[in-house]
Amino acid sequence: MNQKQITIPYHLRSNDKLSDTEQTLVAKAREAAEKAYAPYSGFHVGAAVLLSNGEIVSGSNQENAAYPSGICAERTTLFYANAQYPDASVEALAIIAIHGGEVVPSISPCGACRQVMVEVSYRYNKSYKVILAGKDKSVVLEDNRMLLPFTFSGDDLK
Ligand code: THU
C-alpha cells in the first residue's frame, strides 16, 4: 500500500469577517450576477477579480439558445480582465450565484473554469485567492490551484 493523499486547505468565514477588499469583491460579483444573461438555467452567476494594477473587473454568465455556446461568469471575467489588462496579474477572484432569487450557499466553479483559473496563475506565475461566496458564509482558498489537483498545464507541453 502506497496510498497518497491530497488535502485542500480553505477557510470557512462569515461574510462579515471577510476583509474590506474581499467584501468589495463579493459585492461587485453580486452586482454582476444580477446582470447575468441566464434565461435558460435561471442560474445567475457573477464573478469579480482584483488585478495587480488595482482595477476590479467583473462579469457574469452569458447563456445561449445553443447551450454549449454560453460561457460561465468566471471565464467571462478572467478572459475580459486578461484581454483588457494583459500585464496585470490576478490577485483575487470572488464568485457568487443567485438562483430563484436566493444567493446559493457557496458556488463551486465548473471544471472548465478551474482549468482557466489555473492557466491565469501559470501565465502570471502567481497564484491567487478565491472566494466562493454564499449568503452568510464564504469558502476562502488562498491558492486557486488547490481547486484543480493533477492539473494539466503548459509545463506538460514542454
Ligand atoms: N455557471 C457559471 O457561470 N459558473 C459556475 O461556476 C457554474 C455554472 C453557469 C453556466 C450556466 O449558464 C449556468 O451557470 C448553469 O449551469
pLDDT digits (tens, 9 = 90+) for 67-82: 999 999 999 999 999 9
Ligand 1 centre to CA of 31 (Å) is 16
3-state secondary structure the chain: CCCCCCCCCCEEEEHHHCCHHHHHHHHHHHHHHCCCECCCCCEEEEEEEEECCCCEEEEECECCCCHHHCECHHHHHHHHHHHHCCCCCEEEEEEEEEECCEECCCCCCCHHHHHHHHHHHHHCCCCCEEEEECCCEEEEECCHHHHCCCCCCHHHHC
Interval 7-31: pLDDT, tens: 999 999 999 999 999 999 999 999 9
The pLDDT of residue 50: 98
Interval 40-65: pLDDT, tens: 999 999 999 999 999 999 999 999 99
Q: Does 1 have pLDDT greater than 80?
A: no
The pLDDT of residue 55: 98
74 is an active site residue = yes
Ligand 1 centre to CA of 158 (Å) is 32
Ligand 1: list residues with CB < 6 Å: 38, 41, 43, 45, 61, 63, 70, 72-74, 107, 109-110, 113
Pull the grid cell for residue 46.
Answer: 457573477
Interval 119-129: pLDDT, tens: 999 999 999 99
